[in-house]
Chain A
Amino acid sequence: MSNLWTRKHLLGMAGLSREEINTLLDTAVSLREVNRREIKKVPTLRGKTVINLFFENSTRTRTSFELAGKRMSADVVNMSVASSSVKKGETLLDTLANLQAMNPDVVVIRHPESGVLEFLANNLNAALVNAGDGRHEHPTQGLLDLLTIQDHLPLLDRDSFAGLVVAICGDVLHSRVARSNALGLKTLGAEVRFVGPSTLMPSQAEEAFGVTVHHRLEEGLAGAHVVMMLRLQNERMNSPYLPSVREYAEFWGLTRNRLRLADPKAIVMHPGPINRGVELSSEVADDPDCSVILEQVANGLAVRMAVLYLLCGAGVRR
């Protein structure tokens, strides 16, 4: 059997083949069982060190990576920028060089600058995992969303992603979640719609991502099998991008009425944290028949365990 995983880093969904995505998802499915046990731990990554380096606030992603490492028996160290020497004027590369001197196996990084991971990957030996860089990519979120959708394919009467219609709605412009999802979904053969106001839509999205762009929520939702709502970032709420939060909620909020336009069995996703009553109404978010938001969180843990497992193997340690 040939090795289906040979990458050193996970920097983004861009460039991942269908086989690589499936390897990641299959490994995550096997690891889910660990999270359901009484003893939620396997010895696989004993002696490996994982550093979580977060230059942006994050609770759930950091916790998810931390638990993922711990459930695989790795030693996990969390570093947040607020208490680090970055505040004392250290450059990014110096911070990383210092971490590297401690010989970690994997460094998980979240950073506000798009594309910073590529720069670091060229200057470091440790395996890097992108936990979100600016508005560029958030590959583990993309993977956990793919896994959640894959789980629901049978309920949507489908056996593959081919022809599946996924509407990604809201602030697409600033969303790394939208990018990672669009790239992964297209690789697996799904049809992707970007749905949002023109001020929050990246230019030339059709050409860049092979998606269709819709500027009315109703039009974007029509017949969709998966409705992925994006978080409206607080800092965008009072900005020239929108007239007001109330107006955004009025035109772009997903309500039960609007959801009726989608496929009758459609699932609703959200990367969290939700702005209740802004992009997503509580009646939809809390409806167990369509909302899969908490399944996303559970799958996030399994996907991150799978990523750490595949990146820590000797097959990729040159």
Chain B
Amino acid sequence: MSVAFTDELLLTSSETLALIDSLAARLHAERLGLPNPEARAGEWVVIGIRRGGALVAERLWQRLCERLQVKIPIGYLDITFYRDDLDTIGPNPVVGETDLRMDIDHKHILLVDDVLFTGRTIRAAMNALFDYGRPERVELLVLLDRGGRQLPIQPDHVGLVVQAGSGESFKVVDKGENVHVVRRKPG
């Protein structure tokens, strides 16, 4: 079953990268770069949610590390096995691998996703995260917040707030150097 849709460019590659860069700058200025011990860079771990969030997380992490001049750990979480919709959509045929090699106990986690919608992905990601340890604090960063929440979840850091029309979705498209964001309309 394939549904027809059209993609409309929302953010060009340079706009997307600038947005990620400004998020990194803000994080550096307001959170990780601060001298107080609660926000020391050494306590932070960046975790991207596969697959869209991983693309954003990787680039954000690079920018962040450049500003901090220190490499903080980065990991990736696949939440397929924590989803709540197996009964309605069936198994996901493409499951990514979770890659969390670091200890996350007592860490400050920066959880990164591309688009925040219902909040269910974040719910699943937090359940997954707590199967790996007990972080001190989890902050959520999203590139786009499109509204439409079904759970009491709000982001701590947002790149851009967008209005979504009915049936529309947003996708981060990654083609190597060329990462951009599209608005996908039905029909």
A and B interact: yes
Pair B91/A42 contact, Cβ less than 8 Å? no
Looking at the assembled complex, report how far the CB atom of B98 sits from the nearest CB atom of chain A, in whole angstroms: 5
How many residues of A are counted as interface, with CB atoms below 8 angstroms from the partner's CB atoms? 30
Contacts of B95 in A (CB 8 A): 26-27, 30-31
Looking at the assembled complex, report how far the CB atom of B127 sits from the nearest CB atom of chain A, in whole angstroms: 7
Query: B1 interface residue, CB < 8 Å from A?
Result: yes
Looking at the assembled complex, report how far the CB atom of B15 sits from the nearest CB atom of chain A, in whole angstroms: 27
How many residues of B are counted as interface, with CB atoms below 8 angstroms from the partner's CB atoms? 25
Pair A30/B80 contact, Cβ less than 8 Å? yes
Looking at the assembled complex, report how far the CB atom of B120 sits from the nearest CB atom of chain A, in whole angstroms: 14
Pair B90/A30 contact, Cβ less than 8 Å? no
Pair B131/A316 contact, Cβ less than 8 Å? no
Query: B42 interface residue, CB < 8 Å from A?
Result: no
Query: B86 interface residue, CB < 8 Å from A?
Result: yes
Query: B88 interface residue, CB < 8 Å from A?
Result: yes
Which of A33-41, A120-128, A287-295 interfaces with chain B?
Answer: A33-41
Pair A37/B86 contact, Cβ less than 8 Å? no
Complex partner residue of A26 from B81, B90, B94, B99, CB under 8 angstroms: B94
Pair A313/B86 contact, Cβ less than 8 Å? yes
Query: B93 interface residue, CB < 8 Å from A?
Result: yes
Pair B93/A37 contact, Cβ less than 8 Å? no
Chain B positions within 8 Å of A, measured between CB atoms, are: 1-2, 78, 80-83, 86-91, 93-99, 127-128, 131-133
Beyond A37-B132, A43-B127, 11 additional contacts (C-beta under 8 Å) are A1-B93, A3-B93, A30-B95, A30-B96, A30-B98, A31-B95, A37-B131, A45-B86, A313-B89, A315-B91, A317-B90
Chain A positions within 8 Å of B, measured between CB atoms, are: 1-5, 23, 26-27, 29-31, 33-34, 37-39, 41-45, 72, 309-310, 312-317
